[in-house]
């Protein structure tokens, strides 16, 4: 499947991934993450259930301190 | 999801509206911007918005001005010890006496955010801690989904101009390098903090003056 991940097209050799699966493949291990799929905010408790599919627009945002 | 070439992107989404400063002010004076936090991001963003003639600013912060803030925050040495929101109000009036300023001397929680910022046209996130950034993002997304939220993420240190950027997902706009967290060895300093604060103010203008791609598209 092809997805847009953080504004870049990425190809994965599977048809679907859970959020946790995606985080694992991409080695995103940050603590304070925000994930949006097609504009919809995904709750942390849903990371094992919510999926990413072909054509999805995924935003993975790592919140860091400073301001 | 649309896949458009750059020139198509401009043609379809980006609406350039030429305006004089007088016309800009006419629009901005009817607008209200909420700023959550009056530290490095919030104070500098508020100053820029006051300079261009925003109608009303809604500011919240529980903190006092400290000497250590002056390396990046828009306060003065003789304001040390003052409430940040009170000092900010003074400074904004010295720049533009026409701006209306509502201040809240509170540590914002979810219900405060809804109450304080529900009448704002746009909300600027200017918190220090990642947990607070997360909290306002969830609150706005869940309870005020029609509002634009402009966040500052990653501005510690110095140099690396080209890492600082902005991106958008619906009504969420992120400004910063999304990389440099503050720490003892990577302090927030005026130049980079000011860049991100002003990117946030710039995004506010894009929304309020009707040239933001999401607004034109919707």
The per-residue pLDDT for range B156-191, each reduced to its tens digit, is: 999 999 999 999 999 999 999 999 999 999 999 999
For B203, residues 6+ apart whose C-beta sits below 8 A from its C-beta are: B150, B166, B173, B175, B212
Domain residue limits, chain A: 2-62
- For B49, residues 6+ apart whose C-beta sits below 8 A from its C-beta are B33, B57, B201, B204
ipTM of model: 0.91
- In tens, the pLDDT along B89-109 reads 999 999 999 999 999 999 999
Size of interface A-B (CB pairs under 8 A): 74
CATH number of B20-217, picked from 3.20.20.110, 2.60.120.10, 3.40.50.620, 3.40.50.720: 3.40.50.720
| B143 contact partners, CB below 8 Å, separation of at least 6 | B110, B114
* DSSP-derived pairing of the beta strands B122-125 and B32-36: parallel
- The CB density around residue B71, as the number of other CB atoms within 10 Å, is 12
What's the pTM?
0.91
Residue B46 touches partner A, C-beta closer than 8 Å: no
Q: In this predicted model, what pLDDT tens digit does every residue of A48-66 receive, in sequence order?
A: 999 999 999 999 999 999 9
Q: Select the residue of B37, B134, B170 nearest A34 (Cβ to Cβ).
A: B134
Give the closest of B128, B170, B193 to A65, CB-based: B128
Domain A2-62 belongs to what architecture? Answer: Roll (3.10)
Going B168 to B163 to B157 to B82, the CA torsion angle's sign is negative
Determine how β-strand B165-169 pairs with β-strand B148-152: unpaired
**Strand, helix or coil for residue B66:** coil
Mutate to test the interface with A, among B129, B130, B156 (most CBs of A within 10 A): B130
Flag if B133 and A63 touch (Cβ within 8 Å).
yes
- Tell me whether B179 touches chain A (CB under 8 Å): yes
């Amino acid at each position: 499947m092809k997805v847009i991940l953080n504004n870049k097209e990425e190809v994965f050799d599977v048809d679907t991934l859970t959020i946790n699966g995606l985080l694992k493949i991409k080695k995103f291990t940050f603590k304070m993450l925000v994930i949006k799929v097609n504009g919809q905010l995904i709750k942390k408790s849903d990371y094992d259930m919510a999926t990413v599919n072909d054509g999805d627009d995924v935003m993975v945002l790592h919140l860091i301190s400073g301001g | 999801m649309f896949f458009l070439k750059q020139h198509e992107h401009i043609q379809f989404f980006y609406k350039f509206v030429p305006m004089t400063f007088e016309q800009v002010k006419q629009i901005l004076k009817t607008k209200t911007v909420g700023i959550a936090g009056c530290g490095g991001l919030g104070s500098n963003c508020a100053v820029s918005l006051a300079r261009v003639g925003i109608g009303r600013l809604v500011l919240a912060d529980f903190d006092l001005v400290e000497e250590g803030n002056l390396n990046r925050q828009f306060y003065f040495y003789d304001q040390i010890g003052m409430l940040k929101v009170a000092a900010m109000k003074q400074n904004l009036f010295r720049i533009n006496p026409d701006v209306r300023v509502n201040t809240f001397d509170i540590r914002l929680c979810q219900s405060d955010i809804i109450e304080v910022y529900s009448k704002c046209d746009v909300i600027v996130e200017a918190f220090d801690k990642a947990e607070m950034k997360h909290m306002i993002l969830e609150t706005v997304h869940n309870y005020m989904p029609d509002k634009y939220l402009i966040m500052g993420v990653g501005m510690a240190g110095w140099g690396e101009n080209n890492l600082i950027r902005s991106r958008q997902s619906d009504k969420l706009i992120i400004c910063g390098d999304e990389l440099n967290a503050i720490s003892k060895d990577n302090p927030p300093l005026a130049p980079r903090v000011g860049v991100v604060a002003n990117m946030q103010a710039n995004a506010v203008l894009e929304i309020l003056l009707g040239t933001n791609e999401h607004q034109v598209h919707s």
